[in-house]
A and B are shown apart, each in its own frame.
Chain A
Amino acid sequence: DADVTQTPRNRITKTGKRIMLECSQTKGHDRMYWYRQDPGLGLRLIYYSFDVKDINKGEISDGYSVSRQAQAKFSLSLESAIPNQTALYFCATSDPGTGTTEAFFGQGTRLTVV
């Protein structure tokens, strides 16, 4: 089983719909991240959480919200999806206790907004 699991893996939704992407991890890491990846733009950080009570905006948080339900779960919501939110979304975790910022990624969720 994957250490970082994202659901769904693929999703097509209509403009204006609310959608939630879920991420769960079995690594026991406090830190979790949501990124989106677009061709030519690389990985961009949407939100990150350093523990259950800590939520921070990343570089492109507009149009998104997150919920850290537990140490192991971090979900990303698009309140009213728009076509330019079509992208590949990644969840990641890291453990500051290692003294590094090595990130462990989920397999990604491909979201298409039509």
Chain B
Amino acid sequence: SQELEQSPQSLIVQEGKNLTINCTSSKTLYGLYWYKQKYGEGLIFLMMLQKGGEEKSHEKITAKLDEKKQQSSLHITASQPSHAGIYLCGADQGEAGNNRKLIWGLGTSLAVNP
């Protein structure tokens, strides 16, 4: 089973609507990263969350980290066509020593209809 579950897998919303994407870890989180990928292109860093309860915003995108639930949510307010793409969460599950690597969710594909 996937160590990092993203939901939903895909989402279609009308322009102007709000939406939320969730990322849930099966293990303790030491850091959670959100990236956006335009279809077939590279990954663009959005935000990094490291502390329980931390919340960050960038333009109309807000991400929160709930340490107890081992979950992060990404919320987009008043969505626009430019928000379309694949949103990926990556988690630092704090492997011992210098072996820390990110693991990845499968991504959430977002389409925004004008």
Contacts and interface: CB of A to CB of B under 8 A. Distances in A.
A25 B41 CA distance: 18
A64 interface: no
A5 B111 CA distance: 28
A90 B42 contact: yes
Nearest to B95: A101
B106 A41 contact: yes
Contact of A107 (B41, B88, B105, B107): B41
Contact of A96 (B41, B48, B98): B98
B54 to A, nearest CB: 13
- Place the interface of chain B in its size category: 20 to 34
Contacts, number: 48
Given A90-B43, A100-B92, A108-B41, A43 B101 contact: no
A101 B92 contact: yes
A39 B42 CA distance: 15
Contact of B100 (A41, A42, A101): A101
Nearest to A106: B42
B52 interface: no
Interface of B: 31, 33, 35, 40-43, 45, 48, 50, 88, 90, 92, 98, 100-102, 104-107
Interface of A: 33, 40-43, 45, 48, 50, 88, 90, 94, 96, 100-108, 110
